[in-house]
Structure formats: structure tokens, C-alpha cells
Structure 1
């Protein structure tokens, strides 16, 4: 019995993230092929540990109807052996030095999202383990620059690169008028002179970002380049910052709330390891009109929570607070008066629905751990009111567990 094509399309759409089922559907009947193919090729991953790029290029040449289906491309490289000494990684001999990738990119005419992650699964975050943009072959540089400046590009994730300057970085995306999401991690710059020059006032920077992630604990402080009248941040609703400079963090948040836009709705802050040095207080300016959730990562979870509840305005419309932690530091913060103060202050934040404490563990276990018992005892009032939630998740080996490579 024949099924209406609309029903077939609906069935396949439900299976959009189930690869094996999509492949089975594409083999079931011709009526399934077009819908299944659309999802199968929507996202493509090219890994350095295989000949993916060459095989994918051959597929695109033999089946040109596939290229327009690709909307999301991820290019990931993982080093198996680290060089003892080097200025920065020389790509000669690896997947980015071949011709295939530079030939693939121009074929992907409908590309909307691109991620290029260098050395993404290791904790080495210094310049020696990053890729030099200028050492890539010119055809690949040109192909990537064309993708970055495409008026169709909506999202970009760039991690582990060495570029000439922040202005060089910004110039790569200056024409991407549709760009809404940007994630920049572990970026380094070779030019020392003029590093603090802003984006030229005479040049237009077209993106109207809605989501921005900047991680520069071990690289450049990029905030000072984004806080610029030529760069419009008033559309940003999701902002994630890993910085040791509180004043830069606050400038970024304020820049999103200019022109009465209300500011960010979801704010992520990664606090430096030396908590007492870099954060003795949180600025009330962080709590913009639109802020609905805030996500902290810190080694001093309870101290940070105490500072948060003290600083958060009572008329704030903030609903959700998440705190991530590497280790069991609650036992090192046994200050009953701090627990009492947190309990009492939370009562004056009527919009607040949930405080989630997330501990990173080597292996999740159903058996309650000592720190869970400590939390229940320390914050019994919050537990009874259903405000406090305890979560533990497995350590993945990334330096920043929030996904901030």
C-alpha cells in the first residue's frame, strides 16, 4: 500500500538524528530516499585520523546532488604525538595540506555552519599545539576565507589557531551578514605591535551575533576587540566568557544591553582557578533586564554562590543558576554562617526556580557520595523548597567541561 509522500517525509523527519534508521529508510523504497538523504548529509565530519576528505570529495564528484544538502561541516584534528619544540604546528603532511579539502569547500554552496577544531581532545592549550593560519596552503586559506565571509553562514566554531592579529580574525567574518553564532577558543596572534588596535571605523562589520563564546584563558583577551562601536553586540542573547579580567567581562555584558535591547538572556562565566584573586565580587551590571539563566564554572562553588546571592538584585527575573565544579570543595568551605546567609538571601529572589550544583566525577555512580550528603546537610532548606538540584557527570578530559575548548 502506497503511503502519502507527506506522511513519509514526517516519519523520516522524526528520525533526523538516528543515522542507522535513516540509512535503512533510504534503502527501503525510492519514496524514502530524498527525505532520508537530506538528513544523512546535512552534517558532515572530516577527521584528521582518516582519509575522509578525499573520499568525500570523490563522492561529491560522482554525485553532485549531494553537495547542496550539506549545511553543517565539522573539521576536527587530534594530535597523537606532541612535538617537543615548535613555533606552532606545521600542517605539512596532514589532512589540511592536501587538495581535497580546498576543493570540497567551494562545492558546499548551502553551508550554514562550520566548525574547525584543532587538537580538540587534549588538554594542551598553549600556542605550540595550535595551527598556524599562514602556514596553510593558499588554496585552503582562500577556500576557508570564502566560507567565513559567505552571506549564508550562520554559525562558526574556531578553535586552536594562530593568526596575524585580532583585526585579521575579525576580517575573516566581516561580510558574513547572516552569522548569528560564533565560538572562538584558543586563538593566538603573531603580531605584537598594534595588537590593541580596534576594528577600523571606516569598515563595516556585518554580523549581528545572537550567540557568542570567547575562551581565552590561555590566549588573547578578545573582549577588548569586540567591545567596539563598529561591532554590534546588541542582538546577543547567549554570551559565554572565560576570562581572568572582570572588567572586560562586565564591558561585554554592558555592550549587549546598549540601545535599550535588554541584554543577554543566558550568561556563562568561567571563573579563574585563583578565585580569591580574580573575583571578590560580582558586578550588578551582569544582571541585565533580560537575564534568565547564568552558568558558572569555578573551583570555589560555595563561595561563588554566596557572592552571587549577595549581588543579584532582588527584582531580578533570573530563573536558573548552574554551578560546575571540578572537585569536592564543599568540605573545604565549611562555614555555617555562609550556608545560612545563602539560604536566607535566596528567599528574597522570588523569580529564582532552580540552583543546580554539578560535580564532575571520574565515574558516575548511583551510590550517594559524601559531598552529596554534605550538600543536603548544608542546604537543607533549599532542598526542602525544591530549589536546589544536585547533578554529577563524568569527566571528559576537556580543560573546560562546559564545552569551552
Structure 2
């Protein structure tokens, strides 16, 4: 086959996430093999409930040229049922107790992104007793993961559904990761009692310069560690917080918006059933804020307060509001709508207000919800900035995609 290599590379770049097509191309002609192989092995996903890790290890041993191609590793622990005891935390053959993964990790010399995710069951059970424990791992696996977490090549990490010793232990694992830019921490728990947790050592440096940080954790003291002056968050441009304490959310936002920082450009806040109006005070919004994303059961009230308090010189372009409630459930509706209409013009850069109704189960009432919003926010419709969307929760998730 006589094709320019540049054309072949372009074709395969377009097919980069289409596994079957990449496999077919690699079998079609030799000229496709190298580029197809690069895309096929760039991201690897291992399910702990299968023998995938053993087969992948055997492949790496028989074809050593594959290991340097792996840049993104996702390890998923699939638990479909939860016994009444905690015996499942260390099941036979699970990746936390098995040895194969500790042999695989040192071979992946070009690894840039790693995810360790526990899929929960359909009952959404959460808590320390329903999560995998770092202390249940065998020492070789602990060591191998610690080496990956501190690697100067690591750029992104996603941890979901794990039990670690303490917030200090968690952050110390990444303190030497100089290239780490993106960190997502969700459903993490700590075995050490809160009153016995050690402070962040004054002598320990924090070398990552995070640009994106997501926190979806119930532990309030993790935020206390992150706002420590020794941990520099002033490079964070994307921040999403689903933490229980309004005060901790406020401290986290302020920690990323210090005087010498450009401040957060994309901010997401999960405010649950109630929200503190002080959390929407003007000093929290950097002049560089481009988008803000709220999840709240008080969509209209929240929007009214936000557009009123947001600085008039803001460069804000996008507002996204996710809610589980109907518009009719909001109190004093006409007054709130009028207030929003009167103040939205103070945001000259605003392009879109997207209201997304979260459906935790299939429903056919979205058209009525959309019609109610169009009537209530007729002026926003005339401006062409209102968008209505329905949002189905993913299986096993309590939050929209991107928050876990």
C-alpha cells in the first residue's frame, strides 16, 4: 500500500479511540502498524474482577516494545455486591492483594496518568467500610504505586473509593510529583482517627503545581491540609468542590485566588440542599473567572444571588446550574425571576446560562420543566443565552459525570 505516512498518521489520529478500527487497520497493512499500536496501547484499562492484569503482564513480557507506549492506566475494582462484613476488602485474586500489578507498574516507564477507581453497587453504598484499603495492599504493590505517584512524569491522578491512613499520608504520596497538573480525589476515607492525625511536616515540600483539582470527599480536614501555606494551589485554574463544609469550600476557593495568582477560571460547587449566601460573596471570584457550575436543590434562588453578587467587571461567560427539583418548587418565584432579569445585564461577557435537570431515574416530564423555564425566563430566551438540558446520572453515581 503506497500512502504517505503523514496521511496514515492523520487517519489513525482520528480513530484514536476506536479500538476495533485500530485493530483492523493494523491488520490491513504494515504501514498502519506503528501508528495503530501507539493509539491502541496509549490507554489501558484493567478490571480487577477478571484475569486482565495477568494477561497484560504476559503481553508486556513477550512484547517489551509495548510498555513504553502506555501513558494512561485505569484500574477498576468492580464490586457488584456488598457482604455484611468487611471480608471483601481483601478477596482472593483482587488487585489489592494480588502481585501481578506490582510487576506491571515498574514496566510502564512512560506512564503519565493513573486512575484507581472502585465502582460501587446500584445501592450507592458509601463509607470507609465499603471502600478498598491501602493497608490491605501487599507491600510490593504499595511500593510500586508510591513510585508511580511520586514520578516526575506523572501528570494526572484520579483516586475514587479508597481508604488511606490520613490526609497527610495521601498528600505525601504526591509531594515529589513535579509534573502533576491534574488531581481528582473522590470518596476517599481515612483510617486514622481525626484527633490523632499528624500535621503536615514543616520540612516537607510540596512540588506539584496543580492546574486542575476536584474534591468530592466527606472529610473536612483534607481541605485543612490543602489550604496549608506550604501547599501551593495558586496555579489551579479548574476547581470543583463537593465537600460538606461551606467554610471549607470558601477557604479552598480563597486558597486558589491569592493576590499573586491569576485565580480560578472554571469553578464548580456542589451546594446540596442548602447553601450559604456568604459563599457567593464577590471576593471569591477572580477577575479571570470564565465559567461557574453549581449543583443545588435551590437553582433559582442561587442564580438570583449569584448574578447580583458577581462583580460587574467579571469576564464570566458560562453559568451551569444542575438541580433535582422542579421550578415550581421554588418560593417567591416571580420576584426571583424579575431580580435575575434585572441583574443579568451586569455581566457583559455572559454567553450562556445552562439549566440542567438531573434525573436519577427515567422520566418523561422534562418537556414540561423546559416549557416552565422558557415561560419564567422569557427575557433570557429573548437574549438567546438560556439553554435547557436533561441530565441522567451514571450508573452507580450520585453526581453528574465529571464530579467523581
Distance in 1 (alpha carbons) for counterparts of 2:87 and 2:338: 52
CA 1:330–1:314 in 2, change beyond 3 Å: closer, same or farther? farther
CA 1:134–1:297 in 2, change beyond 3 Å: closer, same or farther? same
1:340 maps to which of 315, 338, 341: 338
Equivalent residue runs for 1:241-260 within 5 Å: 241-260=241-260
What is the CA distance between 1:93 and its match in structure 2? 3.8
Deviates most, 78-87 or 5-14? 78-87
Equivalent residue runs for 1:166-315 within 5 Å: 166-192=167-193, 197-216=198-217, 218-273=218-273, 275=274, 278-279=276-277, 282-315=280-313
Q: Which residue of 1 aligns with 2:349?
A: 351
Q: Which runs of 5+ in 2 are unaligned?
A: none
> Does 1:27 pair with 2:27?
yes
> Does 1:90 pair with 2:111?
no
Q: Which residue of 2 aligns with 1:380?
A: 378
Distance in 1 (alpha carbons) for counterparts of 2:83 and 2:28: 49
Question: Quick check: 1:364–1:394 contact (8 Å CA) kept in 2?
Answer: no
Question: Quick check: 1:233–1:256 contact (8 Å CA) kept in 2?
Answer: yes
Encode CA deviations 1:1-55: one digit per residue, 9 max, x unaligned. 5112222112211211221211111011111100000000000000123111111
CA 1:329–1:85 in 2, change beyond 3 Å: closer, same or farther? farther
What is the CA distance between 1:330 and its match in structure 2? 3.7
What is the CA distance between 1:363 and its match in structure 2? 3.6
Distance in 2 (alpha carbons) for counterparts of 1:100 and 1:60: 12
Distance in 2 (alpha carbons) for counterparts of 1:347 and 1:174: 44
Question: Quick check: 2:206–2:230 contact (8 Å CA) kept in 1?
Answer: yes
Deviates most, 31-40 or 301-310? 301-310
Normalised by the size of structure 2, how large is the TM-score? 0.94
| Residue aligned with 2:341, SS | helix
Distance in 2 (alpha carbons) for counterparts of 1:251 and 1:220: 11
What is the CA distance between 1:152 and its match in structure 2? 0.4
Normalised by the size of structure 1, how large is the TM-score? 0.94
Question: Quick check: 2:393–2:401 contact (8 Å CA) kept in 1?
Answer: no
Distance in 2 (alpha carbons) for counterparts of 1:30 and 1:113: 29
For the aligned residue pairs, the C-alpha RMSD in angstroms reads 2.0
Question: Quick check: 1:292–1:318 contact (8 Å CA) kept in 2?
Answer: yes
CA 1:231–1:195 in 2, change beyond 3 Å: closer, same or farther? farther
Q: Which residue of 2 aligns with 1:326?
A: 324
Question: Quick check: 1:302–1:330 contact (8 Å CA) kept in 2?
Answer: no
Deviates most, 9-18 or 101-110? 9-18
Distance in 2 (alpha carbons) for counterparts of 1:77 and 1:85: 18
Q: Which residue of 2 aligns with 1:113?
A: 113
What is the CA distance between 1:85 and its match in structure 2? 3.2
Distance in 2 (alpha carbons) for counterparts of 1:195 and 1:308: 39
Distance in 2 (alpha carbons) for counterparts of 1:171 and 1:126: 23
| Residue aligned with 2:145, SS | helix
| Residue aligned with 2:136, SS | coil
Question: Quick check: 2:300–2:330 contact (8 Å CA) kept in 1?
Answer: no
Distance in 2 (alpha carbons) for counterparts of 1:302 and 1:179: 37
Q: Which residue of 2 aligns with 1:161?
A: 162
Deviates most, 165-174 or 5-14? 5-14
Distance in 2 (alpha carbons) for counterparts of 1:259 and 1:280: 20
Q: Which residue of 2 aligns with 1:145?
A: 146
Distance in 1 (alpha carbons) for counterparts of 2:343 and 2:194: 48
Q: Which runs of 5+ in 1 are unaligned?
A: none
Question: Quick check: 2:220–2:244 contact (8 Å CA) kept in 1?
Answer: no
Number of residue pairs aligned between Structure 1 and Structure 2: 401
Question: Quick check: 2:268–2:294 contact (8 Å CA) kept in 1?
Answer: yes
Distance in 2 (alpha carbons) for counterparts of 1:141 and 1:368: 47
Distance in 2 (alpha carbons) for counterparts of 1:88 and 1:239: 34
Question: Quick check: 2:265–2:288 contact (8 Å CA) kept in 1?
Answer: yes
Distance in 1 (alpha carbons) for counterparts of 2:22 and 2:305: 49
CA 1:125–1:285 in 2, change beyond 3 Å: closer, same or farther? farther
| Residue aligned with 1:347, SS | helix
| Residue aligned with 1:115, SS | strand
Q: Which residue of 1 aligns with 2:40?
A: 40
Deviates most, 152-161 or 47-56? 47-56
Distance in 1 (alpha carbons) for counterparts of 2:121 and 2:17: 23
